[in-house]
Amino acid sequence: MKVVRIEIYKKGFSMKVNTKATITKEETDVIEHLKNSYDELVYPSKSFGVTSINSLEAKAKLWGLNPVPAKEARVLELGCSMGGNIIGQAVYHQEASFVGVDLSGSQIEIGNEIINAIDLKNVKLLEQDILKIDKDFGTFDYIIVHGIWSWVPDVVKDKILEICNVNLSERGVAYVSYNVYPGWHRLGQVREMMLFATRYDQDMDLLPRTEKGISFVHHMNELIKGSKDVVPKLGWKTDSFDSALDHKTYYIAHEYLEPINDPVYITDFIDRANKHKLVYVADTDFQLSAITWMRKERRELIEAMSGGDWNTKEQILDFYFDTQFRRSLLCHESQAHLLRHNEEFLITTLDSLYFGMVNKGKELQDTTNVVEQAIVNQCRKGEMFTVADCKEELKQLQDGVEYDKIELYSMLIRFLLCGFIAPVTEKKEIHTFKEGVSTVPKEMANYVQTVVDRGGSRFINISDLYNDSITGFNSAHVLMMKQLETPKTLEELYKVADKILKVDETKPSGEVVPLKGRTVVDSTLDDLGQLGFLRNN
């Protein structure tokens, strides 16, 4: 095992608590409590691939909309925390613009320090009371609201939907996530038990109060698991407890101990959105909105139960899957006529997108269906692929024999709706290192350096083009990226690595042996190429 160290100036990020009240009357205390709890137990500002604008654009296009291309979009995130969900997207989309707002001044300050360290010009974070946002705040092509809606008072819920109308451009797409019933009836018991266990501890700091609540749920879980002879039918309950406890403490604290956690039925959310002249498009998870992938008898039964109503069908699917969390796409009423709720996706749209396997670690089985096998082969390559790539694969498998093109599109849609593959509108640039040619954009190098070597990892993570988290980066990656802001030869990189990097190898015996820095250069360059950081032009 090789361990890489490097001596680089590490800039820290301070935290200053701003406790200015922003809402008057009866909701002031609730909002102030929420604000202070997030300052007290900091929730790392992660990136979420499901909110990637190239993913939102692709899904909106499939459902018939004509969204603004991600590369030139104006993006707003409500409840942005320290910006971890949009900073990475801003790095990869230099022509787009990003604005994040949050009530927590301390977290906004940290995020802006990170942005300044990266020297990003197309993203800004604002300490902002969203109740004061109006049409003068501007319009945006994508509005992202992740992990906020269920945890705020009704007045804020309605304001969020109002912003998704008033501040959304005509072709815009809004994304809102929230807890839903019936699935949250299970998890609601965890919240109720934690609140019960800590009912006399409201003056206790959030961390020890959370740990006390977790301990209570853990003991209840063990009690039930050890009493199967008495309560043999409660496996569903212990499964829910296991799921709830399998998270970081900060997540459990804000999920289960906040004063508000307000799940709704999907139809109630849709009705609420309609009142703000917003139309429900679909869930980002195709299985929660589409049924054409199902067996005929199941599909026909759902269609009969829903009476052909799209929104009713969504609720039936939530009952069917026992859904507990939704990630909904919304658009303006003026765009409703474009929606393809019949699940008949356009060939031209499919031709324009890239597709990638959702669970890359999943084992795919070979099949006798040559069309299906062509898609399986593309998935196995581990890269994004297009319909054209599948057609080329089919030509090789068929050895020039004609195939059914409609079957290819139908099979691709089936893979998509079953959740095996996901669509995006951009392809990651994967290159091998070329001496004297390869470079790394300055913003990308600064981004990784700020997170890895300047303390930013305490607050945000590194993400890729699709806003998925990248792990395993170390100071060797930072050094190579900074060096490659201008082209270098391999020998030049070796010399710099030998001079600056300190590399240790631990032998099976436990002996630690120092190595030259150059021993990690080749693998580091390969990482940068595979992750899309190298440019060969």
pLDDT at 4: 47
SS3 1: coil
pLDDT at 510: 85
Whole-angstrom Cα distance, residue 138 to residue 169? Answer: 9
Task: For residues 355-382, give the mean pLDDT.
Answer: 87
Instruction: Please spell the DSSP secondary structure of 140-206, one letter per residue.
Output: EEEEEE-S-GGGS-HHHHHHHHHHHHHTEEEEEEEEEEEEBTTHHHHHHHHHHHHHHHTTT-TTS-H
Judged on CB neighbours under 10 Å (0-12, 13-18, 19+), 205 is exposed
pLDDT at 403: 79
Which two tokens mark 103? 């009530």
- Pairing label, strands 512-515, 502-506: antiparallel
In which band, very low, low, confident or very high, does the pLDDT at 32 lie, cut at 50, 70 and 90? low
Give the domain ranges of the chain.
Answer: 2-7+430-530, 43-181+263-338, 183-256, 354-424
Q: Are 47 and 470 in contact (CB under 8 A)?
A: no
Whole-angstrom Cα distance, residue 374 to residue 386? Answer: 12
Whole-angstrom Cα distance, residue 500 to residue 180? Answer: 52
Give 227-278 pLDDT, tens digit per residue: 888 877 888 888 889 988 998 888 888 888 888 899 999 999 999 999 999 9
Is the peptide bond between 182 and the residue preceding it cis, with omega within 30 degrees of 0? yes
Task: For residues 154-160, give the mean pLDDT.
Answer: 96
Find all residues with CB under 8 Å of 337, minimum gap 6, and list them.
none
Whole-angstrom Cα distance, residue 184 to residue 396? Answer: 49
Whole-angstrom Cα distance, residue 187 to residue 191? Answer: 7
Residue 12 has pLDDT above 60, yes or no: no
| CATH number at 43-181+263-338 | 3.40.50.150
For residue 134, count other CB atoms closer than 10 A to its CB.
Answer: 10
CA distances from 395 to 5, 390, 401, 416 (A): 49, 9, 7, 22
What's the pTM value of the predicted model, to 2 decimals?
0.89
Residue 18 has pLDDT above 60, yes or no: no
